[in-house]
Amino acid sequence: MGRPGLNRSDVIAAAADLADELGFDAVTVSVLARRLGVRSPTLYSHISSGTDLRTAVTAYVLDELADATTQATAAGEGRDLLVAYANAIRDFA
């Protein structure tokens, strides 16, 4: 059982924020645990390994990118659509 109020979604979102701040390679279970104010074993209630954490962060970020590009291209067509798509990716990055 993990810390009350902490769930997998929160852990992954915090890891994504950490990746933005420190870089993807800096995201480790121990660094994330310190950020969240818990011990590393607590996180294993929500993730199975460091690889699971990094895989989940990657999926989380790709979902955010998909949402951003979908919103940006919802009303465009032709060249405007491509420009909106490219701008959404640039803004996301």
Report all structural domains of the chain as residue ranges with CATH numbers, in order of start: 8-92 (1.10.10.60)
Where residue 78 falls (left for φ over 0; alpha for ψ -120 to 50; beta otherwise) is left
Residue length of the chain: 93
Query: At residue 2, what are phi and psi to the nearest 5 degrees?
Result: -85, 180
| Full pLDDT tens readout for the chain, 93 residues | 445 679 999 999 999 999 999 999 999 999 999 999 999 999 999 999 999 999 999 999 999 999 999 998 888 789 989 999 999 999 998
Q: Model's pTM, two decimal places?
A: 0.82
